[in-house]
Amino acid sequence: MNNQGLFYFLLCVWLIAMTSCGSSPVGTAAPGKLATASTPDTSNWPSSFAFGHTASASYIDSIDIDIAPDGKGLPAGSGTATEGQTVYAVKCAACHGKTGAEGPFQKLVGAMGDTTKAKTIGNYWPYATTLYDYIRRAMPFNEPGSLTNAEVYQLTAYLLHANQIIDATTVIDAGSLPQVQMPARALFVNDDRKGGPEIR
């Protein structure tokens, strides 16, 4: 690609990026911002520097552990609150309390509207899939990443039930978890600050 071609290619990429962000309420970029001092002059750059190597599908699979709100990334397996109670008692209760409402760290349980002042799964978490994603990647604190997929499903079910969001027998799996409606979901709004004189 010659320089002019590259310029138009980048312009297109940029315009598309800007346009698609326009539909996102959090997009804040102004057109002039692209020409900041920190942006390199790419006019004499090759189309590729050919540094780095192509990632294999197996490598990507080995570390791509995120779970999207639509359930993308959820593994096979399932769990119920009843199963999760045992895992919770052994691996979680020491930090989060006997029922999840006590702490000392991160009170997890407190249904929407109850008297707790803590931000709990029941009154503050907008997506159920976040539970699976976070528990699997970061918990338990003293042994992060050690839980089996089944244990994570079981704990997810246990915590949803403890927060009065599902009943004790609901099977949580890749199909049902994204369908769980979280009570706090409707409270979330995108950032409305945008600089200028107005205080928000």
Q: Which stretch binds another protein (CB under 8 A): 67-75, 90-98, 152-160, 166-174?
A: 67-75
Cα dihedral: 5, 30, 23, 175 (round 10): 90
Helix orientation angle between 149-162 and 129-138, rounded to the nearest 10 degrees: 130
Tokens of 15: 């315009």
Under the criterion CB under 8 A, does residue 193 sit at the interface with another protein? yes
Q: How far is the CB of 146 from another protein (least distance, A)?
A: 11
**What does each C-alpha distance from 143 to 67, 91, 107, 135 come to in angstroms?**
20, 9, 19, 11
Q: Does 43 bind another protein (CB under 8 A)?
A: no
Residue type for position 200: R
Out of 18, 95, 150, 171, name the contact with another protein by CB under 8 A: 18
CB of 169 to another protein, least distance (A): 26
If binding is defined by CB under 8 A, does position 76 make contact with another protein?
no
Local structure of residue 86 (DSSP, 8 states): H
The site map against another protein for 120-159 (x = CB under 8 A) is -x--xxxx-xx--xx--xx-----xx--------------
- 93, 111, 119, 164: residue in contact with another protein (rule CB under 8 A): 119
Near another protein by CB under 8 A: residue from 13, 89, 90, 168: 13
Please name the helix (run of DSSP H) or strand (run of DSSP E) that holds residue 60, with its range, or none: helix 57-63
From candidates 3, 7, 11, 27, binder to another protein by CB under 8 A: 27
State the greatest distance between any 2 C-alpha atoms of the chain, in Å, as a whole number.
66
Buried b / exposed e across 101-111, counting CB within 10 Å, b at 16+? beeeeebbbbb
Residue 68 identity (one-letter amino acid): A
104 lines the binding site for another protein (CB under 8 A): no
By CB atoms closer than 10 A (0-12, 13-18, 19+), residue 178 is: middle
Q: What residues line the site for another protein (CB under 8 A)?
A: 10, 12-14, 16-18, 20-21, 23-24, 26-29, 33-34, 36-40, 42, 45, 47-49, 51-55, 59-60, 63-70, 119, 121, 124-127, 129-130, 133-134, 137-138, 144-145, 184, 187-193, 195-197, 199-200
